[in-house]
Structure 1
Amino acid sequence: MAGTTRGGSFRIALGLLVCVATVIVVTPVAGAVPPPPPNPSDNDIAAAGAQVTNGVNQVGALINDVAAVGQQIQQLDSVVAQKREAVNKALVDLQSAREQADAAASAVAGTQRALVASGTAVDQARISFDKFAEQAYMNPGSDSMVNYLSGGSPARSLERAQLLSVASTSQDAALNGMRRAQIERANADSAARRAKQTADATAATAEAKKAQAQSAVSAAESAVNEQTAQRDALLKQRDVAQQRLDAARQQVAGLQGERAAYEEWDRQRRIEELAAAAAVASAAVRAASDAAARERAEQLGDGKRPHTQLDDDPPPHKSMPSAPSRPDGTPAELIEMVVDRAMSQLGVIYAWGGGNEDGPTKGIRDGGVADRYGDYKKTGFDCSGLMVYAFAGVGISLPHYSGYQYQMGAKVPVVQRERGDMLFWGRNGSEHVALYLGNGKMIEAPESGEVVRVTAVRTSGIMPNAIRLIS
């Protein structure tokens, strides 16, 4: 009954959205129609015609200038994106090395416990042997074993031989026990040394990975600073060109036609925004109501070190006993779960390094563009972080680096991409990743200053293969 109520509420909300869209479409916007132009003379028309011809030539040249600058900016953005994702790669490698060091440290602790146990065994064997020696040889009284064994009668001689045999056997047993304990102790010592060497080597590897991550961050900061200066210079050139282009357009006849085209575009834009809002609301309702998906995501993230952690703090305690299993359902149903989780985050701010299995997280510093936008103070997603969150709801764990995500699942030609596939840009997917929605659309966390959005698939620089995790 509760499900029916929620579905009914959503249908009512969707109906209201459609009604609002209808009102927006049919209601004219006050002041949108430009005033009628003045009635020019023949000389004015001739002069305007000459200005139009000159303006068209200027516009054509300026469009080429803006396109050239835009291409250079796109190339810079690709370089910056690749360096940022290289930092994500170093961070993932660092966490792997630390997990190996933790395992080696546990092995050392185990061998140390065995070492203590073998030492105790040696001490007990030595005490037994000393006691035997003290009883046999170190107490020469009238009733001592030495005096007894030295008796002269035949019966005493026979008893002495028997006692000597028993004493020799006991002595051998005590000596053998001590030797076994000593061998066990030596083996434990050797095992402890090997385990310690393994732990030291693994710890050194972890430190090297940490230095690699810090070096990658520094390199990214330096590269971003340099490229940001180039980008700013190019943006200034583009702004100047755009201003000249806008001024030239103001001189071209037929502004009424441009205005009509803009109004038609704006009308379509409003319809699309309302439809997108309805889709987001629907996805958010389904994602929020899927408690099982949230639980699977929490299990995947439980006990992991934060992706951006650079210090040696241990991972948080793992509270859940087992890894999540894939939920029941057809591949199409699982894909819709993934899409719903991604779509439910539309409008969430971009934050470099942000996002995990449970949702958006704070970003990190890069010393350049991300810092200028304050990503380290924002709670949001970067491109690979959004994929981690989307697929966690169906029990699929992804590393927080697009290059590693490109190595998972099945590769399919990008021209054969289907809803729910991941699309990649840059060498081996090292620059960017997005989730394909079908009909030429994708959802992505694009760059600093932007938000999670749905956009048309960009074919420039796209990798020839898409990654399919659900089939």
Structure 2
Amino acid sequence: MPGAAPAVPPPPPNPSDAELESGQAQVSAGVAQVSDLINQVASANQELARLDDEVAIKREDVNRALVDLQTARDEADAAGELVNQSRQAMRDADARIEQAKDRLTNYAVESYTKGRNAASLVSYLGAEGPEDILERALIMRRLAAGQKAVLDNLQRARTEQANRESAAREAKRRADAAKDTANAKKVEAEQAIAGVRAALEEQGSRKAEVEAARDAAQAQLAAARDNVAGLQGQRDAYIAWDNQRRAEEAAEAAAAAAAAEAAGRVAEDRAAQERAAQLAEGQRPHTQLDDEDSGGWTPPVQPAPSPVPPSVSGSDAIETVIDRGMSQLGVQYAWGGGNANGPTLGIRDGGVADSFGDFNKVGFDCSGLMIYAFAGIGISLPHYSGYQYTAGTQVPSSQMRRGDMIFYGPNASKHVALYLGGGQMLEALQSGTVVRVSAVRWDGMTPYAVRMVS
């Protein structure tokens, strides 16, 4: 098709079947070695897991021994404190007993020296008569009995305290024994810690060796697989490219066929050609900046005749418009190009279009393609998508029909395309492309489509 750009990129590398077979053979040859290394890694992992379990148990044994040691120490300290308290209580009881004995002795001495008869008691107590003497004698006997009772109670308290001291000494003995046992466990714990450290050091070296072997095995296996995967990936990429190429070629062939059919119908439609020619004859080139720069256009001697009303309407008119547009499939994009008669030389824009050399290309831009398509039914459109947006009846874009114009950008200022139905549209998109059929893009579409033919 004229002006068609390459559809697919250059082909990627395509490994031969011999290269694929050689790579697979290398993988097969290394399977036994890689499998053995994998088994070694698995064994090493099991050994390390077992060691970790043993270390965990030994560490908990150490914790238990330390707890037992601290518990025994606490019990020994408590028992020692109990012995000290008992001994202090014994000393306090002895002191109270001695005080009671002293009071009792003093009482006995005083009673003896002053006599035990009634006269002595009356004199001692200052009695005033026999009744008073008897009452005071009774008091003396009660005082003596009370002193003895106190002494007896103190003796019993001393005996009980002695028993408690004996029990405390026994508790202290057991606590000391527990402390000795705990000290022994401390030694065992320290030995266990030393054993764990030795095992860790030994297994640390073994673990490093096993991990190095494992990494080497995995690297070898990965390299072998990557080699085959890389070759297969290249083959898959080539197959995908080839499928894309075939699809693009089929699409191009279908487009070429559609364009040829449409072109044939356009060529046979003399009336449409005459209507388009009549429109073009009376129009000043839209790129002309002043009257002197006519760009090869000669004003008609007589005023340009009014466009002939279209001799077709309805679906026939719509199909005429679509045939004219589809007949230009593959024509290259040229900014500013296209009029009622067909593609024209593009113009400079001072930017992107110039970088693509549009000013040296004969083709269409988006609005120029619409001008050519609708000229066949006698409809003249301005060469600007924003003005074309107001040239016909605006309908909601969600209700557009085959033959309507679709617009993009604020106030339709960016782009226009021709809706073909079935989610497809005909467009001349941008510099570097060609006239083509594309899927309708809803992003950026204006709220309305424009219907020129009812």
- TM-score (norm: length of structure 2): 0.49
Larger Rg: 2
- TM-score (norm: length of structure 1): 0.47
